[in-house]
Chain A
């Protein structure tokens, strides 16, 4: 086939198409719905949710998880394009660990040394490590599917960012179930759970996001 014939062939393929941004938007919405479904059907709110909503530690935890989700999803919008530049999204993502470290510092000042370990170990470590990855499955699948329709030049990083987004969404939901609000707990167990999902995304990206 001559190149001019190929061009003619390509021109004839005028299937209506969605922009990549629109695809990622939809994937995000479907992912949130999937995580919400798992949350409301199988996880549910903590019993003291109304008093928790007035606790600074709880609100901080929600805010950190939400920031992670927003920053990572913003980065997915960019990483799916071949000329990707993460721009401000990498700053948003950098804020999350920085804020967590500060909160841990404040917590260490605020509570006596004797109860540090108790706060760190908490009561829900096992739930945290299983429920966050479980809640993240739906969002991860949708975001990887969206990225497959994109054209990333960094498949592993793109997959890892999809994993980070998925765990951000999952963690945001999970905060409403988990009664361990200490930054010591969040910085430890939420981070490990997030890391698990990011690793899964990394390998999924390596396998599925080449084009």
Chain B
């Protein structure tokens, strides 16, 4: 695949990320995103899905890469691993969108619009799913993503311990990934 020219660097960044280097992890995610986006656009076109779904799929894939990063064997090339995650998530996402065409999507969008009239964020699938998280998880996710705070700042703001914020953030991300799969496949994951 010609989109994976940077595969070598990605493996190095990911190795550093797994051993705890947050900056390397950020660089990895930022650098992999454009490739994910162009693959998503290509797939959406050939599947006849809407262009506006592209970014939603990219976000779902990023979340999956994050939560499943420990299934990458560090001695193996990372390109095929990413490609396999992408393929799995695309199949899911496109199948779900196929199913949704029976439901007028405008209705959903309208209610969203009313709910967030003054919100400055774009109305992505992830924002709709965030609303289904437990209150505390949602507050933490929003505090970090929208206000750009660190775990420590968020802990101070919400009068929680850093460890509790870390746990809630991790559970929140896992819950989000489960919500993407929809109510039909949703597993009640408690860990």
Report whether B150 and A12 are in contact in the complex, using a CB–CB cutoff of 8 Å: yes
Chain B residues with CB under 8 Å of A210's CB are 181, 185
Q: Is A7 among interface residues, defined by CB-CB distance under 8 A?
A: yes
Residues 1-44 of A contacting B (Cβ, < 8 Å): 1-15, 17-21, 23
**Looking across the interface, which residue of chain B has its beta carbon closest to that of A82?**
B84
What DSSP secondary structure best describes chain B's contact surface?
helix
Q: Judging by beta carbons under 8 Å apart, are B151 and A81 in contact?
A: no
Stretch at the interface among B22-30, B45-53, B103-111: B22-30
* Majority-rule SS of A interface residues: loop
Cα-based distance from A92 to B141 in the complex (angstroms): 46
Q: Is A199 an interface residue (CB 8 A)?
A: no
Residue contact B73 to A1, C-beta cutoff 8 Å? no
CB within 8 Å of A: which B82-138 residues? 83-85, 87-88, 121-122, 124, 126-127, 130
Q: Judging by beta carbons under 8 Å apart, are B76 and A10 in contact?
A: no
Bound Cα distance from A98 to B109, whole angstroms: 59
| A211 touching B177, Cβ below 8 Å | yes
- A-B CB contacts (within 8 Å), total count: 109
By a CB distance below 8 angstroms, the chain A residues around B121 are 1-2
Whether the Cβ atoms of A8 and B145 lie closer than 8 Å is: yes
Query: If A7-B29, A13-B170 touch, does A153 touch B145 (CB 8 Å cutoff)?
Result: no
**CB-based contact B66/A81 at 8 Å:** no
Smallest CB-CB separation from B181: which chain A residue? A210
> Are A3 and B177 in contact, with the CB atoms below 8 A?
no
CB pair A11–B88 under 8 Å, yes or no, is: no
B11 at interface (Cβ–Cβ under 8 A)?
Answer: no
Asked whether any CB of chain B lies closer than 8 Å to the CB of A104, the reply is no
Q: Measured between alpha carbons, how far is A153 from B90 in the docked complex, in Å?
A: 12
Interface contact A3-B87, CB-CB below 8 Å: no
A80 contacts partner chain B, Cβ-Cβ < 8 Å: yes
Q: How far is the CB of A152 from chain B (nearest CB, A)?
A: 9
**6 closest pairs, A vs B, by CB?**
A82-B84, A151-B68, A5-B145, A9-B145, A81-B71, A83-B80
